[in-house]
Structure 1
Amino acid sequence: MNSAFIFPGQGSQSVGMGLSFYKNSSKAKDLLDHASEYCKLDFKYLLFEENENLNKSEFTQMAIVLNSLMAYEALKEQVNIEAKYSLGHSLGEFSALATQGAFNFLDVIALVNKRGQFMQEDCSKIEAGMMVVLGLEDRVVENLCQKALSEGKNIFAANYNCDGQIVVAGLKADLAFYESEFKNAGAKRAMLLNMSVASHCPLLKNASLKLIKELEPILKENFENVVSNVNAKAYNDKNQALALLSDQLVKPVLYKQSIKAIDSEVDFYIEFGANVLKGLNKKITQKETYALSKIEDIDEILKVIK
């Protein structure tokens, strides 16, 4: 049976995530301990205890990637399963790349710390944000974004999560102004998210340029198939990765398109570190998604692949 590995992005963090992997998997424990030493950061405190850093972008991104990789290590410790494809939602693409051999695990954890810093730097002076829009067709949201741009407002389609759910990014004031526009067009809901960055839109151009400079020296020349957020197609070498990841911060996440693109070639999905994408997948595919967010979840996965 063919599986696809999927990895969550920012917003999936919670206090205590990864604790069951740390306590019950020697590989997961070693990864967290080595990451703490490598990054000079107490990851046990960041992940397992109440603290204000967990919701700061540069630390959030490290915590989520580390947690996903700990879940991956815990599963691999019990069964040698490989993915036909691996993909992530936004930040999750970096976790996917690491598990497919594109990055050293410690390097990618340090990298996303800088990614978060660069994103925050671009958005700190412009009051950026994101809004989820429910119940509208893609083309309606896209047309409203174009209308906003023609009026001098910064609003962009950022995440295509599933049919009827798109996240838009831009300036908070512009998003708030357009809330009624989305609702008047028939949206069931248009709600500002608790985010201070505008991911996957042109407002992050400088962050994207800075990130590519950090990527170049640590990306491996070749790796196994990863499906790009940018074009929903698989790639597996450094040159492709540099081109696609340079666009990843400034173009929308094509998550639902990515799942649809590979769905006929896989039998089931495994989400590492959370159960956020499992919920989206239920609205995209009839294939089963197994969420590995705690050590006990491995038992259900083992029943499928043994």
Structure 2
Amino acid sequence: MNIAFIFPGQGSQTIGMGKSFYENSKNAKELLESASDFCKIDFKHLLFEENDQLNKSEFTQPAIVLNSLMAYVALIEQKPDLQAVFSLGHSLGEFSALAVNGALEFLQTLTLTNKRGFFMQEDCSKVEAGMMVVLGLDDQIVESICEKAQKENKKIFAANYNCDGQIVVAGLKPDLISYENEFKNAGAKRAMLLNMSVASHCPLLENASSKLCVELEKTLKPNFKAVISNANAKIYTDKEQALKLLKSQLISPVLYKQSIKNYENEIDCFIEFGASVLKGLNKKISSKETYSLTNFNDIDEFLKVIK
């Protein structure tokens, strides 16, 4: 069976995520404990207990990546020979894909995404940033409305191409609010502000992107297995490509829908690690099955399918 590994991004966090992997997988438990020591973050508290840190970007990002990596090591513990044809992630999830495919060490990935979250929050703390989901419009209509807004000196940009009829736009919150009716008048079923204090994947993160690139230069391996870029929806496998594409990643839209469509014919199914957000999107994009591993029981069920 030809498989693709997929990894969720920010917004998939929940208190209690990863606990089933921690309690049932020796490797997942060791990974969390090593991560806490290495990153100087109490991940057991952050993931499993009520706290106000989990929704702060600098903690959200390593927490989500750690949850995905715990799901991955728990699966590989049970099925060591399992390999993917390629891996991809949605936004932050691209870093989980890079770690699993040998581009980054697991613990360094957590430190890197901790910094990524901090850099993003730092950039957006200087402005009133936000994101808005737009449902029911063709890509071209959303893009043309964003272009119109930009001509009026408003900061509104297409940020996430999730599936047909679902695009997230990013920019300055007052500008997004002022254009809510513009999207609805064009036929959007919904134009709703998201509970986000950052504006991901748009030019407002230029400084964060540059700072992240400095960190990536130090940590990326020269070569690795196939990862699909959010920035151009194509496969890359080396550090030189990665530096260019990941520099673009924070300031360019996430081409998730395009990535799935470009490569779905090469695989039989997708495995999502740590959440089921992408499974929901994939149902609207592809006819290929997506198996979501959100707890240890999901691993048992998946292994029955592929035996």
Partner in structure 1 of residue 83 of structure 2: 82
Which string of whole-angstrom CA distances, capped at 9 and with x for unpartnered residues, describes residues 128-182 of structure 1?
0000000000000000000000011000000000000000000000000000000
Q: Summarize the alignment of residues 114-133 of structure 1 with structure 2, pairs less than 5 Å apart.
A: 114-133=115-134
Cα distance between partner residues in 2 of 1:41 and 1:130: 28
Cα distance between partner residues in 2 of 1:185 and 1:40: 49
How far the C-alpha of 1:125 sits from its partner, in A, is 1.5
Amino acid in the other structure paired with 2:47: L
Q: Summarize the alignment of residues 159-198 of structure 1 with structure 2, pairs less than 5 Å apart.
A: 159-198=160-199
Cα distance between partner residues in 2 of 1:102 and 1:125: 32
Cα distance between partner residues in 2 of 1:41 and 1:230: 30
Cα distance between partner residues in 1 of 2:299 and 2:120: 34
How far the C-alpha of 1:105 sits from its partner, in A, is 0.1
Which string of whole-angstrom CA distances, capped at 9 and with x for unpartnered residues, describes residues 50-99 of structure 1?
00000000000010000000000000000021000100000000000000
Name the SS of the counterpart of 2:131 in structure 1.
strand
Partner in structure 1 of residue 3 of structure 2: 3
Partner in structure 2 of residue 95 of structure 1: 96
Partner in structure 1 of residue 32 of structure 2: 32
How far the C-alpha of 1:247 sits from its partner, in A, is 0.1
Further displaced range: 112-121 or 296-305: 296-305
Amino acid in the other structure paired with 1:97: L
Cα distance between partner residues in 1 of 2:237 and 2:98: 9
List gaps (5 residues or longer) in structure 1.
none
Partner in structure 2 of residue 303 of structure 1: 304
Cα distance between partner residues in 1 of 2:53 and 2:202: 25
**1:134 has 2:135 as partner:** yes
Cα distance between partner residues in 1 of 2:152 and 2:219: 42
How far the C-alpha of 1:303 sits from its partner, in A, is 2.0
How far the C-alpha of 1:14 sits from its partner, in A, is 0.1
Cα distance between partner residues in 2 of 1:167 and 1:100: 28
Which string of whole-angstrom CA distances, capped at 9 and with x for unpartnered residues, describes residues 240-265 of structure 1?
00010000000000000000011000
Cα distance between partner residues in 2 of 1:61 and 1:41: 12
Partner in structure 1 of residue 228 of structure 2: 227
Partner in structure 2 of residue 254 of structure 1: 255
Cα distance between partner residues in 2 of 1:75 and 1:155: 40
Cα distance between partner residues in 2 of 1:16 and 1:128: 28
Partner in structure 2 of residue 154 of structure 1: 155
Partner in structure 2 of residue 63 of structure 1: 63
How far the C-alpha of 1:301 sits from its partner, in A, is 1.4
Cα distance between partner residues in 1 of 2:42 and 2:83: 31
Name the SS of the counterpart of 2:231 in structure 1.
coil
What RMSD, in angstroms, separates the aligned Cα atoms of the two structures? 0.5
How far the C-alpha of 1:300 sits from its partner, in A, is 2.1
Cα distance between partner residues in 2 of 1:304 and 1:286: 17
| Matched residues, number | 306
Cα distance between partner residues in 1 of 2:263 and 2:294: 23
Amino acid in the other structure paired with 1:74: A
Name the SS of the counterpart of 2:137 in structure 1.
coil
List gaps (5 residues or longer) in structure 2.
none
Name the SS of the counterpart of 2:218 in structure 1.
coil
Amino acid in the other structure paired with 1:188: K
Q: TM-score, normalised by structure 2?
A: 0.99
Query: Quick one: percent identity of the two aligned structures?
Result: 72
Name the SS of the counterpart of 2:285 in structure 1.
coil
Q: Summarize the alignment of residues 206-285 of structure 1 with structure 2, pairs less than 5 Å apart.
A: 206-285=207-286
